[in-house]
Amino acid sequence: MSSGLGFSLSKGVLNTSAPPIPKAYEWAARYNETSSAPLIDMSQGVAGIPPPEELRQAIGEASASPQNFSYGRGDGEPALRQALVDEMKAVYGLQADIKMEDVALTAGCNMAFVAVIMALADAGDEVILPFPWYFNHEMDLSLLGVKAIGLPTLPEDGFLPSIARCEALITTKTKAIALVTPNNPTGAIYPPSLIASFADLATKHGVPLIVDETYRDFVPPEEPPHTLFTPSDLHPWRRTFIHLFSFSKSYCLPGYRLGAIVASPEFLASVKTVLDCLQICPPRPVQLGLAPLMPSLRSFVQANASAIQARHALFREALPQGWEIGAQGGYFAFVRHPYTGIGGERLAQMLVEKEGLLALPAMFFMPTTAEVLGQAGDGYVAESERWLRFSVANVDDKTVLEACERLASFDAVSTHHL
């Protein structure tokens, strides 16, 4: 029991790591910012531009309409659910077997993940998560008493997860395999063949494959992100595949909290029970404003994706000697720094306090137990301390170049001994 409270707290919340982002902003607050050297924030995955004016206006009009203050459907407005289906056919191919009844909308993609896990797993069950992992996924599992089974991804593999390593982790307690592609935090883009292999593995062992595709619109458009939605009598996707999506990144709407689950209607029936307890209904004005505009906004989404891909290339070319990219895609680049003997968290702190450049250390996205990290092999912890995550979506091209100049002038060794 806390000494300052007259009641006890849940074991779930006490056993769950605190979100690390506030710690990074505490470091940033100690930087002596000036007009000529402002803070450069490349930490969180936040869109660097606002939504188009037409979308802002449509959301404003929907927000002002008296009829939109009432409750909506628990699984979201039908118009947006159908618009998402049509958009997904543009992304995954017109042959994609997706229907409106396969879609439930949520108050953000984090809500989607929580609802899916609550419908799948009980306390004591296990979910396999590749790491470095999106820390909110691990936190969600911890809060629910579900054990995150860490699947290490390695720099020499481009931070792509291994099918063989994953299969070795599957037990009778395994309730799901959860992937994120393009990955947060590493930026690694999982090729369609790898996603298909994970789908086969999930089918083989009778567990669902959850794929969070928050950043799917930022994959180079040469081919669809994967082919799991393609009709198949041998591998009908609704048996084991659960797709998650966020409108936050593609449409620059993170504050409006809007996500989606695409899965079998039979599974969604259970998810809707969870959602009725957690959200009642997703926010209505953003749904009603966005739904009729999605076809016309495709050019905005594609232009923003192209700009971010170009910024990735600019960042890669401008990085100073000794700083190496291990993977990049979506919003993120995972970068190996040149300093040995300095922990990643300490280095990130020094970087923002001295140079005003805020990035996140890889250890923010890692298991906290030595046992799990040790399973990744000798030297994994030391190597993990060498990596930082940079979000290139937060900033413009000019700022990317300024960030690389600050990296070039940064002397971690001298700063470390101050």
Token pair in block for residue 290:
């966005």
Q: What confidence tier does 368 reach under pLDDT thresholds 50, 70, 90? A: confident
* H/E segment holding residue 320: none
What is the average pLDDT across 130-159? 97
User: Which pLDDT score, from 0 to 100, does residue 4 have?
Assistant: 87
Residue range 69-126, pLDDT digits in tens? 999 999 999 999 999 999 999 999 999 999 999 999 999 999 999 999 999 999 999 9
Lowest mean pLDDT among 3-12, 63-72, 377-386: 377-386
C-alpha to C-alpha distance for 333 and 180, rounded to whole angstroms: 15
Beta-carbon contacts of 418 under 8 Å, excluding residues fewer than 6 positions away, are none
Report the SS3 class of residue 298. helix
Give the mean pLDDT of the chain: 94
Reported for 93-102, long-range contacts at CB under 8 A and 24+ positions apart, including other chains, are 93/224, 93/227, 93/229, 93/230, 95/230, 95/231, 96/229, 96/230, 97/229, 97/230, 97/231, 97/237, 98/229, 98/262, 101/265, 101/268, 102/238, 102/262, 102/263, 102/264, 102/265, 102/268
Q: At what angle are helices 21-29 and 344-355 packed, to 10 degrees?
A: 40
pLDDT over 50 (residue 206): yes
Q: For residue 134, how many other CB atoms are within 10 A of its CB?
A: 23
C-alpha to C-alpha distance for 181 and 219, rounded to whole angstroms: 9
User: Which pLDDT score, from 0 to 100, does residue 328 have?
Assistant: 97
Residue range 11-51, pLDDT digits in tens? 999 999 999 999 999 999 999 999 999 999 999 899 989 99
C-alpha to C-alpha distance for 384 and 386, rounded to whole angstroms: 5
Token pair in block for residue 58:
């449509």
User: Which pLDDT score, from 0 to 100, does residue 417 have?
Assistant: 44
What is the average pLDDT across 316-334? 97
Sign of the C-alpha dihedral, residues 17, 18, 19, 24? Answer: negative
C-alpha to C-alpha distance for 271 and 281, rounded to whole angstroms: 13
Cα–chain center distance at 329: 12
User: Which pLDDT score, from 0 to 100, does residue 411 have?
Assistant: 84
Q: At what angle are helices 397-409 and 344-355 packed, to 10 degrees?
A: 110
User: Which pLDDT score, from 0 to 100, does residue 370 have?
Assistant: 57
Burial letters for 387-398: b for 16+ Cβ neighbours within 10 Å, e otherwise?
bbbbbbbbbeee
| Nearest alpha carbon to residue 247 among 115, 389, 130, 111 | 111
C-alpha to C-alpha distance for 276 and 290, rounded to whole angstroms: 23
Direct distance between the N- and C-terminal alpha carbons of the chain, in angstroms, rounded to an integer: 40
User: Which pLDDT score, from 0 to 100, does residue 235 have?
Assistant: 84
Angle at 414 between CA 409 and CA 418, to 5 degrees: 125
User: Which pLDDT score, from 0 to 100, does residue 233 have?
Assistant: 82
178, β-bridge pairs = 210
C-alpha to C-alpha distance for 397 and 403, rounded to whole angstroms: 10
pLDDT over 70 (residue 162): yes
Spatial contact of 109 and 212, defined as CB atoms under 8 Å apart: yes
C-alpha to C-alpha distance for 382 and 40, rounded to whole angstroms: 27
DSSP for 342-399, written as a single string: S-HHHHHHHHHHHH-EE-EEGGGGS-S-HHHHHTT-TTHHHHHTTEEEEESTTS-HHH
C-alpha to C-alpha distance for 161 and 269, rounded to whole angstroms: 31
What is the average pLDDT across 280-302? 97
pLDDT over 70 (residue 247): yes
Q: What confidence tier does 1 reach under pLDDT thresholds 50, 70, 90? A: very low
User: Which pLDDT score, from 0 to 100, does residue 341 have?
Assistant: 86
| Nearest alpha carbon to residue 405 among 346, 348, 323 | 323
